[in-house]
Amino acid sequence: MKHSESQEHACNVSGMFGRIAGCYDFLNHFLSGGMDYWWRHQLVRQITPGATGKVLDLAAGTYDVSLEIRRQHPLMQVAALDYCLPMLTTGKKKLKNPRGAKVYPAQADGRALPLADNSVDCATIAFGIRNIIPREEAFREILRVLQPGGRLCVLEFGSGKNKVWKGLYNFYLQHALPVIGKIFSGDDAAYKYLADTIIAFPDATELAMEMRQAGFERVFHRPLTSGIVQLHVAQKAVTEE
């Protein structure tokens, strides 16, 4: 994909999330049956604090992962970056919570992070890597800013190519999700986009391969909720060649 095409995609996705920012949290909780809280808890459990005391939360959205990081690791600072400014603005009221004291939001492109080399212990991205094209650019940038031995922890929907619950989840994705999303958000395209990108997304083995190709090691993944969500963890080499 050419740079101009990937930039247009980024702007379109950002605009779409900006339109649904006001109902984003409600729909996350409603459409997942509240499982999103547990998924984020499992993601943050994979964080390993290190020398910098800093974590990058990419595609931070309305700060749910950032605040979970602060809950589990109250001494860590969180750089909460997202390309979609309305999402960050909508969630800013949550930062009035004491846990928000060391969360630092900023608008940023995951393919060109405004962070120094080796500047964070860990990086998280929840339900965001699917929206970045090309993914390898984001993986390379995350690898750059991680300190040696630092972890990348990714939470993402499993591929719709795999039949979950004998195809019931796949039916939900294709037929129920867009309708429910439209009713509550009023946006025709947003939840159809969500369903389409989940269906087309690489399976866990393929995504793990992409991480290894980007330079990560000790890559592993495990399914959550019967594979509806996959938790991926990868590490930057302790010593760089």
96 forms bridges with which residues in the sheet?
none
Paired tokens of 94 = 């949550």
**Rounded to whole angstroms, how far apart are CA atoms 70 and 103?**
8
Residue 160: predicted pLDDT? 63
The pLDDT score that the predictor gives to residue 208 is 95
Range of the domain at 41: 3-235
CA nearest neighbour of 58 among 120, 7, 3, 13? 120
Q: Side chain identity at 215, as an amino acid letter?
A: G
pLDDT value at 89 more than 50: yes
CATH of the domain at 113: 3.40.50.150
Domain presence at residue 240: no
pLDDT at 8: 81
**Number of folded domains that form the chain:** 1
Residue 241 placed within a domain:
no
Beta-bridged to residue 79, according to DSSP, are: 56, 104
* pLDDT (average), residues 8-14: 79
pLDDT tens digits, one per residue of 176-201: 777 777 777 777 677 788 888 888 88
pLDDT over 90 for what percent of the chain? 64
Checking if the pLDDT of 233 tops 80, the result is: yes
Rounded CA-CA distance 150/52 in Å is 10
Give tens-digit pLDDT for 43-68.
999 999 999 999 999 999 999 999 99
Q: Is residue 122 part of a domain?
A: yes
